[in-house]
Every structure is written in C-alpha cells, then in structure tokens.
Structure 1
Amino acid sequence: MKQHFTSALSQTFGRFASKEHGKNFQKMINRTYVKAMGLDMSDFEAPESYPTLNALFTRKFRHMRKYSTDPLDMISPCDSLITECGVIEEDLALQIKGMSYSVDGVLGDGITAESKKNVHNGLFVNFYLSPRDYHRYHAPLDMQVLRAVHIPGKLYPVNIPSLKKQVNLFIENERVVLECLSSEGKRFFLILVGALNVGEMEISFEPRIRTNTVLTPSQYSYKDLYLSKGDDFGCFRMGSTIVMLCESNMVDLGISSGHNVRFGQTIARITS
C-alpha cells in the first residue's frame, strides 16, 4: 500500500513534537499547549520540565493512581470519553449513533475467524482520547496477551465530527490489535487506533511494531506474556481511540455512551 497523505502530515508533526527546541522556546511551547488544551497537570510534573512536546504528550504520573484491587473489577485503560458502548449485534458495533462498523473488519486478517466469532454478540467500548487527555494506556484487568497485530492504514481524525462523517473510520485507520485472555479464560481485544498527528503508537512489550513507518502488516504471537491490572504498556503520541471488544457474558458494563472516564476507574464487573 502507498502512504496516505494523513500519514505524511502526521510524520511532519511528529518530527516537530519530538524535537528539543531550546530551553526557553520549549517552555513556551509546553505552557501554551497546556493552557490552550486545558490539561490538568495536577498528577504530573510541571509543563516546563518536559524536554519535548512528545514528552509532555506521553507524560507519566508522579504517583500511580489508586484503583480497585478486586480481581472482578475491570478498570478503564485510559483517560477518555466513551463515544459509544454496548452490545455487538452479530459482528456489528457502533462507531457513533446511527453508524456501525464490522468487528471482523476492524480486527483484520491477522486474527482467525474462530477468534473473531468469540466476540460476536459480545460487548464493545470505544474510548476517545482527546489531545488534552493523559495519553498512556494500561491493562484493564489481569490478562494474557496472545497476539499483537499491526495493521498499517490512514490517519484520519477520530474526534466526534469525524466519527459522524467518515464511514468505517476504525477500519480505514492504522491500528494495533491485541488479542487477550482474561484470568477466567474469556477472550477480548484491545484495538489501538491511530489518528491524525498520532505519529506513533508505542507497545512497550513489542518494540518490533513501528507504526506510521512501515506499510506492510505484521503480527507476533506470545506463549507466556502476562500483564497485571494497571500495568502501563505504552502510549499514543497525541490523542486517539481504543476499542475494546469482549466475549459474550464476560463483563457487565457500568458505563454508558457520553461518560468521561479516567484510567483506574472501575467500568465493568467481570461475571464469575
């Protein structure tokens, strides 16, 4: 496939955001961004302490947030807006009210048909991370990662206006699909969806995945890769979306569309 113009634009922005612009100018860039976007920096270091705009985007907590240690509580993997959530009808989930996407399509060719069928008629949650949100993502529960699939694609914006007008946005955009199992053996997927100006999606346990760089798909399988609830496993370089797809009867959701959630907040109860 050829590089899409949205990918080229994102690479250009990424080079600017990754560059150290000199101490005083960088302070001005960081402070301007924090003020313009309305970032809440109370859990983080001061804006001027970050050497690049990307370092500010991918900031880590000074102290880890507290979250439920009950193994049956699923927590939000990120700070975000829930744009849609609910039941997957056969293999269709909502991109936004009135517009569906195919679960099989968003999972791509690197996931087997049998694995895809596991989440048919299950539950989905779309987490939208805006440019002002904390950009790192965490394990929502104790989990085993079976496979990571990188699917190159376009980098259209994923904000609400774009969700309403761009058909199959999650399928068109570049993404990384993680196939996982819960401690109870239920299958679920975390799909990291790229967006305009998201030059990279970092997967800390899989450095071979280089998003917005290579144009051919890749996939990696694991036998003994486990993440504990709350583990930090990477970040977006600016805002984007995480789609979570769960097997039927795996969880009872405690959220609804339009809710703002924070990483660590309990969003569902695992059915025992």
Structure 2
Amino acid sequence: MTVRSLISILTQQEDINFLLTNRVPRAALTRFMGWFSKIEQPLVRDLSIACWRLFSDLDLSEARKTHFRSLHDCFTRELKPGLRPSDPDPTVVVSPCDAIIGAFGRIADTELFQVKGAPYSLLDLLGDPALVEAHRNGRFITLRLTSSMYHRFHAPGDLRIEQVDFISGDTWNVNPIALKRIEKLFCKNERAVIRAHLATGEALTLVPVAAILVASIRLHFIDRLLNADTVGPVSFPCDVGVRKGDELGWFEHGSTIIVLAPENFEFCDNVAGSARIRAGEPLLRKPA
C-alpha cells in the first residue's frame, strides 16, 4: 500500500477527516500557512510542493510556467493561454472556476441549502436585505475548489460589478464532511459578496467563501487583499465592467464560490451533483 493510498483511506473516515481538518487552531494555522507559503527558499518550496503532490492529485501540466518562486506562487498559478475558453452563447452564464458541483437548485423564498437537510438563509449569507430581495426565489449553485485545482476565478458573463462586501468570520473546512456537521457553515466563514448585474440587467452575485488555510482572496478590481487582517463587514464600492471569461481574482489555496442567479434562469444539462466543471463551461441559461 502506498503512502497516498493510506492517506486516502484515513481521510475518507469521516471522524478522522473532521478531526484533522477542523478540530485544530484554524485561525492560527491559516495565518501560518499564509506566511509559510510565501517563503521563496528553494528547498522549502520544493519540499512543500512535493508534499502537496503526495496528499493530492496536483497536476501542473496546464500551468503557464514550470518554475515557481514559492508554494504560494504555485497555488495561484496561471494556466497556458486558451485552456479555459468561455461558452460564447450570450444567454449562458458560465462557471467562474474549476470546481466540483455541490448543492444547487431553486432558492425557496430566501432559503437555500449547503447539503440536503442543512438549510441556511440568504440574509445570513449576504447580510443585506436589499440584496436578499434581488435573489428571492432565484437560483443558486455551490462550486467547491479542491486544493489541487486551478485557483483563479473568472467573470461568468458580461458584468457590471458595483460593490464588494467583505464579511469577517471563521475558517472551517468546506469539504462535504464539514458541510454535513457544521450548521450554516458558509455563513460562518470569511467571505466576499461580489454584487454585479449582467449586461441584460439581471442581478448576479458571486460569494467566494474562504476556508482553513485559504483565508485570503485577491480581487483585481479593488486595491486590497481580503484576509483575516481585514475587519468586516466592510464595503468597497466600485464600478467595473468585465467581459465573460475575464479574470476576477484568486484564492490562495482552494475553497468555494456560491453563484446566485435570477429566478428565470435554468441550469444547463451538464450541471449535476458531484460533477466536475471547468471555468468557462455552461452553468446556467436564460430562456429565450
């Protein structure tokens, strides 16, 4: 039995997985990882990436460059040009990131769910009653980025971004095991609420949610790194136009993006629970 096989077996045991990834000093470990990952010492970098490969299915064949300054540089890697083309159909909202599809469906009035039988409210997630009204009875989809995935995320459509609200919080793991055990987990973790409208006028909101080891979110259109040093809630007004597929920013590891879309949008045929999706692939469609 290989070391990777043994690790896989242990982490698939729910109690062990939850203990190892949650019953630890999450904030301190996340701060440490933020510091450690930026060390640009070749031995530290090489051992860190080798360890990462041991624990995951990390594949760097799509990376734009083959040499990385640090573990952080590898986490936030760009891809070779042209590898994530966006669906050109103007009626389609595409996935903003590479991800595994989690919970998705219709928002029941203002209630959605993180896993079956585990509801949470739009108000708890977003913190703004006016934005809640914009998504009442709308559609939601949860996109989970694993640690080995491409960590940058992109505009899911032609958008006008109007404001970013950063909400301080915890750094629980966001894997399926934690989602089953921690009530309203997404509403407890640090997160950014990116308010936008599609070119056709409908409200579309992206909520990148931080997690253990991941509590840093970089957005290109605000001059601020959002992390544990940002005391929220705090709002950053902006007026930025982006085209479908434009890069919006990145996580400094892997985490989750919740997409909130209008009521009249429908999920595309490729959307299914636990399916893998890539940035630029169809996610939702506005009926003709």
| TM-score with structure 1 setting the length | 0.91
1:198-247 per-position Cα deviation (integer Å, ceiling 9, x unaligned): 1311111112353211223210222x311110111111111110011112
Q: Does 2:117 align with 1:98? A: yes
- The match for 1:88 is 107
Conservation of the 8 A alpha-carbon contact between 1:129 and 1:239 = yes
- The match for 1:31 is 50
Which blocks of at least 5 consecutive residues in structure 1 are unaligned?
none
**Between the two proteins, what is the percent identity of the paired residues?**
28
Which blocks of at least 5 consecutive residues in structure 2 are unaligned?
1-23
Structure 1 residue matching 2:52: 3-state secondary structure: helix
Residue identity matched to 1:13? M
1:45-96 per-position Cα deviation (integer Å, ceiling 9, x unaligned): 465x111111111100121322322212221111111111100001111101
1:143-172 per-position Cα deviation (integer Å, ceiling 9, x unaligned): 111110000110110011000000010000
- The match for 1:19 is 39
Once residues 260 and 190 of structure 2 are traced to their aligned partners in structure 1, the CA distance between those partners, rounded to angstroms, is 17
Deviation at 1:267, TM superposition (A): 1.8
Residue identity matched to 1:246? A
Conservation of the 8 A alpha-carbon contact between 1:150 and 1:211 = no
**TM-aligned CA distance change 1:52 to 1:58, over 3 Å:** same
* Structure 1 residue runs of 4 or more that deviate by more than 6 Å after TM superposition: none
Q: Does 2:87 align with 1:68? A: yes
- The match for 1:145 is 161
Residue identity matched to 1:156? W
- Partner residue of 2:247 out of 207, 223, 232: 232
Residue identity matched to 2:179? L
- The match for 2:20 is none
Conservation of the 8 A alpha-carbon contact between 2:39 and 2:45 = no
- Partner residue of 1:215 out of 231, 237, 253: 231
Structure 2 residue matching 1:221: 3-state secondary structure: strand
Query: How does 1:181-192 map onto structure 2 within 5 Å?
Result: 181-192=197-208
Structure 2 residue matching 1:95: 3-state secondary structure: strand
**TM-aligned CA distance change 1:30 to 1:144, over 3 Å:** same
Conservation of the 8 A alpha-carbon contact between 2:268 and 2:282 = no
Give aligned pairs, total. Answer: 263
Q: Does 2:162 align with 1:134? A: no
Once residues 204 and 174 of structure 1 are traced to their aligned partners in structure 2, the CA distance between those partners, rounded to angstroms, is 18
**TM-aligned CA distance change 1:9 to 1:31, over 3 Å:** closer
Structure 1 residue matching 2:186: 3-state secondary structure: helix
- The match for 2:18 is none
- Partner residue of 2:214 out of 198, 203, 219: 198
**TM-aligned CA distance change 1:253 to 1:90, over 3 Å:** farther
Structure 1 residue matching 2:259: 3-state secondary structure: strand
- The match for 1:257 is 273
Conservation of the 8 A alpha-carbon contact between 2:96 and 2:154 = yes
Once residues 201 and 127 of structure 1 are traced to their aligned partners in structure 2, the CA distance between those partners, rounded to angstroms, is 16
**TM-aligned CA distance change 1:266 to 1:106, over 3 Å:** same
Once residues 92 and 230 of structure 2 are traced to their aligned partners in structure 1, the CA distance between those partners, rounded to angstroms, is 37
- The match for 2:72 is 54
Q: Which moved more, 1:34-43 or 1:86-95?
A: 34-43
Residue identity matched to 2:242? L
Conservation of the 8 A alpha-carbon contact between 2:30 and 2:213 = yes
Conservation of the 8 A alpha-carbon contact between 1:81 and 1:258 = yes
Deviation at 1:25, TM superposition (A): 4.0
Conservation of the 8 A alpha-carbon contact between 2:218 and 2:224 = no
Deviation at 1:5, TM superposition (A): 4.7
